Amino acid sequence: MAFYLLIGGALAVGAFLFFTGFDRTNQQQVVTARDQLLPRLTMRDRIDAMFQANEQWAASATVGKSGKLSLAEQLSRADLKLRTSEWIVIRLGSAAFLALIGFLRFGLGGYGLQPILLGLLGFFIPQFYLGFRQRGRIKAFNSQLGDTLVLMANALKSGYSLAQALDVVANKASPPMNQEFDRVVKEVNLGAGVEEALARIVRRTQSSDLDMVATAIAINRKIGGNLSEILENISETIRERVRIKGEMSSMTAQARGSGYMITALPIVLAVFMYFVTPAYFAPMLGSPIGIGMLIGAGIFMGLGQLIMGKIATVDV
């Protein structure tokens, strides 16, 4: 009897192991098939998914408020190939990095003011860089607009349609002009109207000269006329404006440089003394009077820089 019980138990254990292995094989096959059908999520996809889970944040990042660019449009305007979630992670990482440096260098003395200030600085440094990239790209775009209109006018004179002329600009112009017009061509190919696509590029670039071009094209498509001649006339106006702006910029360069130097000198000196000799600079941050003096100095320096910038700026 014991022999038969032993054999029966062995058969039961063997059957259990067999069916367990068979079930695991099926599960592995299902997982393999699913992995083949669904692409693997990269780290970028996972980070983006965490932010996109918040519907309110996702909507605010992709849809700007009235008259303002969304975060996605700002990144596109600066030609940064980053997702909105990645940009937020970069800003948070920069803030954490500088806050950590402040903690390692100064500790938590003085209510932890130094790490907090460095963290705030790190959070806003990427935003300053974003604005710098935007201004440089828009400046390059406006400087190329006159030659681009001549290229479009020549294409129209050759018998091309407006859509074909836009495609010529997308293929022949230099960055950033070709990048923006390439988006226009793609939007038109996907079914958008030319006026609608040009309105989007005007919103991205915030260029008053391009706004004038888009308005002229929209009017011409409604009432007709010689579009190539209109573009040539606008091109002459834009070229003359760019020339005058260059002359004015050269004439006011000394005043603007002096303003930047006067504003930056005390800031650089204070930061240098703070990091090199913290004990010498400590009274300015260790008492309410010193903090108030720093705040007052910052306000007056900002007002002075604003006034000097207004004086040195000439609208053309």
Question: Mean pLDDT for the chain?
Answer: 77
Cα 42 to Cα 47: distance, rounded to the nearest angstrom: 9
Cα 297 to Cα 295: distance, rounded to the nearest angstrom: 5
Fold classified for 137-241: Receptor-associated Protein (1.20.81)
SS3 content of the chain, % helix, strand, coil (to 5): 85, 0, 15
Task: Give per-residue pLDDT as tens, 142-170.
Answer: 888 888 899 999 998 888 888 888 889 88
Indicate whether 213 pLDDT > 80.
yes
Cα 227 to Cα 121: distance, rounded to the nearest angstrom: 50
**Cβ neighbours for 94, distance < 8 A, ≥ 6 positions apart:** 122, 123, 125, 126
- 65 in Cβ contact with 77 (< 8 Å): no
Q: What is the pLDDT of residue 101?
A: 86
Please tell me the number of Cα atoms within 13 Å of 26 on its side-chain side: 6
- Domain residue extents for the chain: 71-134, 137-241, 253-312
Indicate whether 263 pLDDT > 60.
yes
To the question of pTM greater than 0.95 for the whole model, the response is no
Task: Give per-residue pLDDT as tens, 29-82.
Answer: 544 444 444 455 565 565 556 555 554 545 555 555 556 778 888 888 888 888
